[in-house]
Amino acid sequence: MTLTFIVFLPLLGALVSLFLPKENHDIHRKWALIVSLVALAVVLGMWGPFDAGNPGIQFEQRANWIPSIGVSYHVGVDGISYPMLIITGLVSVLAILASWNIDHRQKEFFAWMLVLQTAMYGVFVALDYILFFLFWELLLVPMYFIIGIWGGPKREYAAIKFFIYTLVGSAIMLVGILATYLKAGLGTFDIVTIAQQANFDPRFQFWAFLAFFIGFAVKVPMWPFHTWLPDAHVEAPTGGSMLLAGILLKTGTYGFFRIAFPTFPEGADAFKWLMALLSVISIIYGALAAMAQRDLKKMVAYSSVSHMGFVTLGLAAAAGAVAQAKGVGDATVIGQLLANGSMALNGAMYVMISHGLISPLLFFLVGSVLYDRAHTRMMDEMGGYFSKIPVAGTILAFAAFANLGLPGLSGFVGEFFTFVGSFPAFRTLVIIAALGLAVTAGYHLWMMQRVLMGEGKKEESFPDINGRELAVSVPLMVLIVLLGVYPALALSILDPAVSQLMLKLGGM
């Protein structure tokens, strides 16, 4: 029941908000904030009862939905989805706070934000293919309107591009879902049951994995399916881009963790090289493309492409580790190889979490804090912000260093584990990807040099960061530091589920 409550509370809140007076702008944002806070509180309240040592599904709830074809309302969380729920709750609250000063059609905006929350929570708890697909598609609608109505100058182009792009991906995924259902022959759409019981032949796994791969890769986004992202991020209002970067991208990689890998291990094996290659291309290419940008927000958007490459690299490495372990007889060596894979997978999850904190912070700073003051996103037109707005400038520097993987901050931990865990499986590729770190450092520092250092325009003067903006930034910063200093904190929840997935991939 808890999960159902969390999922549908925002939707209920959105319905209630329809009855609130349209003229009173204040009441809508407050209502949305309250509803999101309650949802977040319930998510955090699950921390106590959540059994970290249990790798299986918890808080499970199941009800028949369309019994004739085996569709059920089945929700539950495990160590992979629970952290995502926390991030979702947190970033949702902060995104609403960040959108506090939306200046037109407030009622609709906050209603859509609440609907979006339902969809995000739903994707992370759904354990039925149809339910998952439903929430997956539901993500698009509010985001489409949020970008299309409250976005920047090219918002309509961006919204349509985003919508169609992801819709094409999910259409292919739907084919995969139906094929999986029919081929499994279990008469159920249950994700867990199919992953555990179905016996797919490798040929089918290849095609099914491909279908899901395309669906998820668009969302991640992996090169070359990424071009919707810069446009959508740049045009979206700040709250939208925070959720887009922080949560929506993760639904793609989450899909790999939840569906594609556990259900089609042999498919993953067949695609591991392609996936690793595309990941490394994403890492390098995203970093280089980010360096080329003059628009600060676009730079951050491309850096998302680069960082999500780490997640998919870790996933590919898990499959790679399994492949390495196949031909080995020595049990110790197998254990070591699987431990590598487990490290890579944990690293990938860690990057998801960490990027789910860092990218909203960056988008908030760039799209809201700086933009509200300077009214530009062009780096060439900025400068000297360290002096002009010292606190905001320092937070931006903090976020940039977190994003470039400075140790002590969460970005480093995930990237490091992903690298170390992936290295045995894809040595050359990992070394090439490591070169991308120099480029990553390069564009972040160059950005800081252009935006924060120097003298800037003489006549400019801005007020420094205000209380609301601090309230958005500080929780993210605290978590970034915490997760960067002591990773066992998150790993205690992640690792049991991830390691079980690793064993499942290894056929044990």
Give one DSSP letter per residue of 65-93, joined into a string.
EEGGGTEEEEEEE-TTHHHHHHHHHHHHH
Candidate list 19, 438, 459, 467; residue touching other proteins; CB under 8 A: 438
**3-state DSSP assignment of residue 295:** strand
End-to-end CA distance of the chain: 32
From 33-41, 92-100, 116-124, 225-233, give the range in contact with other proteins by CB under 8 A: 225-233
Candidate list 293, 303, 304, 473; residue touching other proteins; CB under 8 A: 293
Pattern of binders to other proteins over 157-176, x per CB under 8 A? Answer: ----x--xx-----------
Least Å distance between CB 373 and other proteins? 19
Q: Contacts with other proteins in 408-427 (CB under 8 A)?
A: 408, 412-413, 416-417, 419-421, 423-424
Answer yes or no whether residue 406 interacts with other proteins by CB under 8 A.
Answer: yes
From 16-24, 177-185, 268-276, 428-436, give the range in contact with other proteins by CB under 8 A: 428-436
Omega before 390 within 30 of 0, i.e. cis: no
Least Å distance between CB 53 and other proteins? 12
Cβ of 359: how many Cβ atoms within 10 Å?
Answer: 30
Candidate list 18, 34, 66, 435; residue touching other proteins; CB under 8 A: 435
Report which DSSP code applies to 58: E
Radius of gyration of the chain (CA): 22
Q: Contacts with other proteins in 345-364 (CB under 8 A)?
A: 346
Answer yes or no whether residue 71 interacts with other proteins by CB under 8 A.
Answer: no
H/E element holding 447? Answer: helix 427-451
Nearest to 156 by CA among 146, 141, 166, 169: 146
Nearest to 220 by CA among 159, 298, 117, 308: 308
Query: Contacts with other proteins: how many residues (CB under 8 A)?
Result: 65
Answer yes or no whether residue 291 interacts with other proteins by CB under 8 A.
Answer: yes
Phi first, then psi: give them for residue 72, nearest 5 degrees: -130, 160
Nearest to 476 by CA among 44, 81, 95, 122: 95
H/E element holding 43? Answer: helix 25-45
Q: Contacts with other proteins in 481-500 (CB under 8 A)?
A: 486-488, 491, 495, 498-499
Candidate list 112, 162, 401, 426; residue touching other proteins; CB under 8 A: 401
Pattern of binders to other proteins over 103-132, x per CB under 8 A? Answer: ------------------------------
Characterize the bridge pairing of strands 58-66 and 71-77.
antiparallel
Least Å distance between CB 217 and other proteins? 14
* Cβ contacts of 37 within 8 Å, gap of 6 or more: 93
Candidate list 202, 454, 463, 507; residue touching other proteins; CB under 8 A: 454
Question: In angstroms, rounded to a whole number, what is the distance separating the alpha carbons of residues 402 and 400?
Answer: 5
The encoded tokens of residue 349 equal 């999850």
Answer yes or no whether residue 47 interacts with other proteins by CB under 8 A.
Answer: no
Binding site for other proteins (CB under 8 A): 161, 164-165, 223-224, 226-228, 230, 285, 288-293, 335-336, 338-339, 342-343, 346, 384, 386-387, 401, 406-408, 412-413, 416-417, 419-421, 423-424, 430-431, 434-435, 437-439, 441-443, 445-446, 449, 452-455, 486-488, 491, 495, 498-499, 502-503
